[in-house]
Amino acid sequence: IPMLRYHSGPEPLWHEWDRKAQKHGLRHTIYAVNGDQYTGEWLNNLKHGKGIQLWKSTGAIYSGDWKFGKRDGYGSLCVPDSVTKEYKQVYKGWWRNDQQCGYGTAFYPGGERYEGEWSGGLRSGWGRMYHQDGCIYEGQWLDDKPDGQGMLRHPNENRYEGGWKLGRKHGPGKYFYLDKGQLFEGIWAADIPKCGVLIDFGREEAPAPPQYPIPKV
């Protein structure tokens, strides 16, 4: 039986060019076709390790950890102000699979701030939200809204403690009217108290108590 022999010629040049084009380790700034820029570490042609990404379309800058081409680990995101063009931080904390995940702090327009847990880019878990009007919510979150058990404290120290659902008071709860020295304890549904009991609470320390005390039953 005749033996067939194949002559192996020299390796095509494009094989070597392709190997050299594969980004690996720390590299200088790489420019994408759309104008985006990345400076940092690579692994098998993917962003991996520490790096800084600039998106040309929005001007946003991410500085932090990467894993196989996606933001993963600890990092911060900054965007330019629409008026002053100065960069301001909008998020610092943990990421997973290119989304906020774990513990992090987000900064919103008007001085609002959220500190707490995230999942899939949404506020989920435990967290504290500082609102522009001075209110502070502290408690459980689900899909970017208060959901579960939490407390909402107003600037005048009045507060609600109890259940929440889809961002509204829902279920058993207590509302402390400390400015009047009263306490309402009852059941809420979609932010509306449905039934409950109103009693005097801390009336002696209240700055503006009602004229007549509530008689005890």
What is this structure's pTM?
A: 0.84
- Are residues 136 and 129 in contact, defined by beta-carbon separation less than 8 angstroms? yes
How confident is the chain (217 residues) per 10-residue block, as mean pLDDT? 57 54 68 92 92 96 97 98 92 98 96 97 98 97 98 97 98 96 96 94 89 80
Beta bridge partners of 15: none
pLDDT on residue 25 = 61
DSSP secondary structure code for residue 207 in this structure? S
pLDDT on residue 164 = 98
Neighbours of 117 (CB within 10 A): 19
pLDDT on residue 128 = 98
Helix (H, G, I), strand (E, B) or coil at 138: strand
For the chain, domains (ranges, CATH) are: 16-93 (2.20.110), 108-212 (2.20.110.10)
pLDDT on residue 214 = 84
State the Cα–Cα distance between residues 48 and 25, nearest whole angstrom.
8
Q: What are phi and psi of 17, to 5 degrees?
A: -60, -40
